[in-house]
Structure 1
Amino acid sequence: MTLRTILAASSAALALTGMAQAAEHGPFKIGITQNNVGVDSYQTTYEQAFIAAAEENDMVESVVLDAGGDVARQIAQVEDLIQQDVDAIIIWPTNGEAVIPAVRKAHQADIPVIVTNSNIAEQGFDFVASFSGPDNITQGARSAEIMCDKFKDMGIEAEARVVQISGQPGYTTAIERAKGFEDRLPEVCPDVTLVETQPGDWNREKSQQVMEAFLVKYDDIDGVYAGDDNMGVGALNAAKAAGREDIIFVGATNFSVGYEAMEAGDYWGSIYQSPVDDAEAALQTAIDVLNGEDVPFLNYFDTPKITQDNMSEFTKPVF
């Protein structure tokens, strides 16, 4: 049996479970365990949007939990939601592999699981009804295209050197955005060199320290790719402090600080992603699964390129 067949069969079974629950219970009780609300403004805004969307829907009762970045806590939260006999569980994984046993338990309890924002590892796919979120590999690829296009405009695509600041190690979003960038960059700019990658852990201060070390280690840096704008602005701050104004900065997930840095002409481009869209899509995906609707396993929402050239077409992020 192929992976696609397994996923289709799993999704169909979960959909039938959802219809039975709807008939028996009426309003859906949907639990969510989030990754780490306090780590950045994206996750904070996501939580606020999720709560607002649930409160506005008379057919939803929500249980909103936050793992605080702790895998063990998130596993315990999933087990608690199972004990509460919720109709569906939404999980924003703290770690794409470590949470699989907990997701399996929910599946075995006939509770459909929707993974949001950052997917779990592939070996857990047959325990999941749907993934709702961005295509992070595509985001990384689009960031590579933004950087390559800028290098070509500058006429340095044959010699440019790039460093990368990735997200938290082991975190699926970080892995996928790095992979998308690393795979796409040599396809569009084969002579550009990615000289080193270090994690910034989604943290601006740590990313600034990583960039400070890069600037000491390498005299020639033409571009920086960061897994999100929070880290990218940290790197930008380090470059400014060192008087290095000749570096092209490209990120992903356009934070308000990234948008402002683009307005100031200091930061070239990013990928536009809304935490409000992210949260509302996750809740709607859970509702659709419980209603027995045909939901794609990979339920992506679009995340377009944003640069200094087209940023006027986009509203400044609120996070």
Structure 2
Amino acid sequence: MKHLMTTTFLIALAPAAIAEGFKDLDMADGKVGTRAEALPMEQFCGDKPLRVAYSDGWGGNFWRRATRAEFEEEAAKCPNITEVRYTDAEGNPQKQISDIQGLIAQGFDAIIVQPDGGAAIVRAMRQAMDQGIAVVPFETGNTFPGTPGTDYVVNVSPDVVGIGRTSAEWVVNALGGEGNVVVMGGTPGNSYTANQAIGWKEVFDATPGITVLEGPVVTNWDPAKAQQVMTAMLSKYEAIDGILSETSGPIRAYQAAGKSVPAWVGQDGNELSCLYKELSPEMGDFQMANLESHTWTSRIALRKAVAAANGMNNPEPSIIEVPLFEDSLSDDPALAVKCDPDLAAGAILSAGIDKAKQQEMLGQ
């Protein structure tokens, strides 16, 4: 009986001991940098067979599909990756927890996680780590609940606070420091929108002439919902001078109302750019800027997860600065508003997947 109890005790300690091993790795936690500092995937592949997975909190738009495609392209660079799995929680945090637990039971070696449920997903990630599975959350924001090295290997994210700051600075410049602004958010309680708000609030709070009428407003990053919300605001407010939005929905609301679109800053998308090209001739004062859409963060997350699964360090930045991709106020040709008429509205011109792949994904 004594022997049985001792064996059980040792077995109980084994997963934690495995998880402790991730603490010894240098994953450049919190290091801020740019995409130019990216390293080749082949550097981290190793030799042993690996099975990798991507647990998505919600896969309901083209941005999510493009992010998945970048993950799959990156995984294909390692001949020893024998299986690539994708799960979609469809916006249900409990389903994502179950998805991750299913991947644990199936013995995957590395899992990247887009945890739209925020802190609610951390416990499931820790369960995977305790089984020696390298887990990397991404697209979370500059900070994320939990402890790197214990609850997950490292948090990988665009500099979301910086995105909020850059967006707000552009709006302040476009409006000459005065006007009413609306800020659209994503899903309820997500850490990305919360981190973005830190940046834009910092700028707007320091600009007395700017009034934030509402924000962040829940849209689920769904253009239809964003249009519905914007339509209600057009009836509610006499003047809206600037909008921060990562979907085209609010522009559609203005079109339907027959009103001119105010200063706009968001995230690169072919539909947004083509709408600007279409509308700007008749709206001479319509100005727009978009930041890169950072679908490529799934590649960085996978590189770090695979490196950890192989017991390797990964010095790439874990917080990546996101530059402006388009700016109608700039004289720089590289920042001209881009519209590719050969691509469908849903295409993302700053994505790391090529035009042919996007056409295939969009059914063109």
Distance in structure 2 (CA, Å) of the matches to 1:124 and 1:206: 34
Aligned to 2:133: 111
1:274 is aligned to 294
**1:87-126 CA deviation, whole Å, 9 max, x = no partner?**
2221111311111110121122222211122258423544
Question: CA RMSD of the aligned region, Å?
Answer: 2.6
Q: Deviations over 1:185-216 (max 9, x none)?
A: 223x3321112222112111111111111111
For 1:77 and 1:283, the matched residues in 2 are separated by 18
Give secondary structure in 1 for the equivalent of 2:156: strand
User: Aligned AA for 1:285?
Assistant: K
- For structure 1, the residue ranges without an aligned partner over 5 or more in a row are 1-8, 17-21
| 2:191 maps to 1:167 | no
Q: 1:311 to 1:53 in 2, by over 3 A?
A: farther
**CA–CA distance in structure 2, aligned partners of residues 115 and 310 of structure 1:** 38
State percent identity of aligned pairs.
Answer: 23
Q: 1:135 — aligned with what?
A: 159
Is the aligned partner of 1:184 residue 2:213? no
Q: Which residue of 2 aligns with 1:12?
A: 23
Greater share of helix: 1
Counterpart secondary structure, 2:112: strand
Structure 1 residue 27: Cα displacement: 2.1
The SS at the match of 2:99 is helix
| CA distance in 2: counterparts of 1:244 and 1:10, whole angstroms | 59
Q: Could you say if the C-alpha distance between residues 311 and 76 of structure 1 is closer, same or farther in structure 2, counting changes exceeding 3 Å?
A: farther
Q: Does 1:202 align with 2:216?
A: no
TM-score computed with the length of structure 1 as normaliser? 0.82
| Residue aligned with 1:131, SS | coil
C-alpha contact (below 8 Å) 2:181/2:212 kept by paired residues: yes
Distance of aligned partners of 1:283 and 1:91 in 2 relative to their CA distance in 1, 3 Å threshold:
same
The residue type paired with residue 254 of structure 1 is: D
Contact kept? 1:14, 1:110, Cα under 8 Å? no
The amino acid that maps onto 1:69 is G
What residue number does 2:313 align with?
294
Partner of 2:74: 53
Listed as ranges, the matches of 1:8-157 within 5 Å are: 11-13=22-24, 26-37=48-59, 39-61=60-82, 62-118=84-140, 121-125=144-148, 126-152=150-176, 157=177
Structure 1 stretches of at least 4 aligned residues deviating more than 6 Å after TM superposition: none
> Separation in 2 of the partners of 1:200 and 1:135?
21
Which stretch of structure 1 is more off in the superposition, 138-147 or 297-306? Answer: 297-306
What residue identity is the alignment partner of 1:147? V
Larger Rg: 2
Q: Deviations over 1:247-300 (max 9, x none)?
A: 11111x31221222343435511211231x222222212122233333369712
User: Does the CA contact (< 8 Å) of 1:30 and 1:86 recur in 2?
Assistant: yes
Please say if residues 113 and 136 of structure 2, whose CA atoms lie closer than 8 Å, have aligned partners that are also in contact. yes
Question: CA separation of 1:131/1:278 partners in 2, compared to 1, >3 Å: closer, same or farther?
Answer: same
Cα contact 1:116–1:132 (8 A) shared by 2? yes
- Length-normalised TM-score, structure 2: 0.73
